Amino acid sequence: MNAEPFFSNDVMYIVSADHNVYAIDTKTAKILWKFKTNGPILHSPVVYENTLYVGSYDNNLYAVDIRNGTELWHFRTGDKILIQPLVLADCVIFGSFDRNIYALTHSGEQLWKTRLGGFTIGEITYIDGKIFVGGWDGRLYALANDGKILWSYYAGNTAAGCATYIKETNSIIFATWGGYLYNLTLDGRLLWKTVCEGTIQPRYHFETHFGTIYVGSGDTHSGALWAIDAKTGKSIWKYPTFGRIQEPRILGDMILGAALDKNLYTVGKDGRLLWKFHADGCLNAPPAHLHGLIYQPSWSGHLYCLDENGQLVWKMFFPGRPMNDRQVLSGIQKVANTMRALLTFWKPEKPVPKAYETTAATPQLSLGPAAYKMSEPYKSEVGYKSSAPVGYEMKREKKKDWRDPFAR
């Protein structure tokens, strides 16, 4: 499981490697329905009114009725779709690996498409009446509502990710695969940039709180959770881990960071460890939370439900083609090597302004000890910041090619 859960009206929507989207009642942990596409789904779905929108590795964007899980329509692009759609009141906007950004009506009719210099890898955001999208060509693009490119900011020979709005400074931030964090004005002028150790996976938005940005970085054997001052870009504190942290999430006074070392770290806003939960597999997607419960997907195929103390309430196994830890870490490193090689020889196009199949099975639910004491008040003791872990030197891959793990 490689995507953050999405919630709407106490229903959780989550995707799995078995090509399905699942709708789960968060009150009972029962599956309401599932919808199958013709390929893996590697990002979160989104719900607007009674329709769920999700893109798939099969090149299609699907619209699904959330009341019964039936398909309303689908729209085919020229390549796979790996990012969450952006849904506005009058349209649905999404990107494809064919390097185009599409805008559709809620009935599936194309309004416009804009070709970028590279395909998109991060969420599309809508800020101050503009559409922001990062490209493989190292640019953050700002588009008008009709798809016209207003401006772009070149961040160097690396992939650019999702833009996040900073209220306190009326500006935006975005990260690159190379580990840099950029702060821009809404018209594309650089305010500051800073670098974090390792890479930043720029698929998701960042969360901020009173002028502090929380960022995760690292590689397969070391990582860190950072608190960054939004005004200056300077580090406030850093909590080290043994694997890359995905984009952290805020729950009350806690910062939640999922890591490739199988741990969900929870630190206070002073950077001290409160608790951590050890999962069965690598964590390559951010956690989500609803009504005080934390939901964490894992590469092992499990979805964990935890209380605010980090105690297991229940876990559910989703069938599919989960990878073991060695395959996951090896695959992530090969992807990183391939990206570095591609970016070395990458020749971005000049932007053109527009005008493994498995038998489906029922996920299995296991209750944890916290399921029987959910009425207890939340209590936690602040722990002490651990010393920096000793990272392992990564061996250079002899082969530069990378085989798509989902290819048949």
Q: Are strands 312-317 and 149-154 parallel, antiparallel or unpaired?
A: unpaired
Percent of the chain with pLDDT over 90: 64
- What lies within 8 Å, CB to CB, of 372 at 6+ separation is none
When mean pLDDT is compared over 207-211, 307-311, 368-372, the highest value belongs to: 307-311
Average pLDDT over residues 183-196: 95
Query: Would you call 64 helix, strand, or coil by DSSP?
Result: strand
Question: 176 with 339: CB under 8 angstroms?
Answer: no
Average pLDDT over residues 381-388: 33
Helix (H) or strand (E) holding 328: helix 325-345
Tokens of 315: 């876990």
387 pLDDT higher than 70: no
Task: Mean pLDDT check: name the lowest of 8-12, 117-121, 312-316.
Answer: 117-121
Select from 173, 133, 139 the least CA-distant residue to 155: 139
Query: Which residue's structure tokens are 């709180």?
Result: 209
328 pLDDT higher than 70: no
Q: What is the pLDDT of residue 51?
A: 97
Q: What is the dihedral of CA 391, 393, 397, 403, to 10 degrees?
A: -10
Tens digit of each residue's pLDDT (9 = 90 or more) over 40-89 = 998 999 999 999 999 999 999 999 999 999 999 999 999 999 889 999 99
Counting other chains too, the contacts that 231-239 makes at CB distance below 8 Å and 24 or more residues apart are 231/168, 231/169, 232/192, 233/181, 233/183, 233/192, 233/193, 233/194, 234/194, 235/194, 236/212, 236/271, 237/270, 237/271, 238/271, 239/265, 239/267, 239/271, 239/273, 239/385, 239/386
pLDDT category at 366 given cuts 50, 70, 90 is low
351 pLDDT higher than 90: no
Number of other CB atoms surrounding residue 393 within 10 Å: 6
Dihedral sign (CA 161, 165, 166, 172): positive
In the Cβ-directed half-sphere of 15, how many Cα atoms lie within 13 Å?
27
Q: What is the pLDDT of residue 136?
A: 87
Question: 249 with 288: CB under 8 angstroms?
Answer: yes
335 pLDDT higher than 60: no
Helix (H) or strand (E) holding 342: helix 325-345
What is the distance between the alpha carbons of residues 54 and 84, in angstroms, rounded to a whole number? Answer: 7
What is the distance between the alpha carbons of residues 332 and 323, in angstroms, rounded to a whole number? Answer: 12
pLDDT category at 394 given cuts 50, 70, 90 is very low
Average pLDDT over residues 172-185: 93
What is the distance between the alpha carbons of residues 264 and 266, in angstroms, rounded to a whole number? Answer: 7
Q: Is the pTM of this model over 0.85?
A: no
Tokens of 343: 């970016």
161 or 348: which leads in pLDDT: 161
309 pLDDT higher than 90: yes
408 pLDDT higher than 90: no
Tens digit of each residue's pLDDT (9 = 90 or more) over 79-100 = 999 889 999 999 999 999 999 9
Tokens of 267: 């630190």
Average pLDDT over residues 261-283: 95
Percent of the chain with pLDDT over 70: 78
6 pLDDT higher than 60: yes
Specify which residues 214 forms β-bridges with: 207, 227
Question: 253 with 259: CB under 8 angstroms?
Answer: no
Q: What is the pLDDT of residue 370?
A: 63
What is the distance between the alpha carbons of residues 83 and 95, in angstroms, rounded to a whole number? Answer: 7
Q: What is the pLDDT of residue 363?
A: 61
Average pLDDT over residues 381-385: 33
Select from 27, 10, 4, 8 the least CA-distant residue to 374: 27
Residues in the chain: 408
**Dihedral pair phi/psi, residue 23, rounded to 5°:** -105, 120
Domains of the chain: 1-97 (2.40.128.630), 241-350+359-402 (2.40.10.480)
373 pLDDT higher than 60: no
Amino acid at position 223, single letter: G
Q: What is the pLDDT of residue 294?
A: 96
286 pLDDT higher than 50: yes
Q: What is the pLDDT of residue 347?
A: 47
Tens digit of each residue's pLDDT (9 = 90 or more) over 214-263 = 999 988 788 999 999 999 999 999 999 999 998 899 999 999 999 999 99
Tokens of 325: 């830890």
Average pLDDT over residues 120-127: 89
200 or 347: which leads in pLDDT: 200
Average pLDDT over residues 24-48: 94
pLDDT category at 8 given cuts 50, 70, 90 is very high
DSSP state of 127: E
16 pLDDT higher than 80: yes
Q: What is the pLDDT of residue 356?
A: 29
Query: Which residue's structure tokens are 């990206």?
Result: 339
pLDDT category at 157 given cuts 50, 70, 90 is confident
Question: 302 with 316: CB under 8 angstroms?
Answer: yes
Tokens of 27: 């009150």
What is the distance between the alpha carbons of residues 84 and 125, in angstroms, rounded to a whole number? Answer: 10
Q: What is the DSSP string of 303-317?
A: EEEE-TTS-EEEEEE
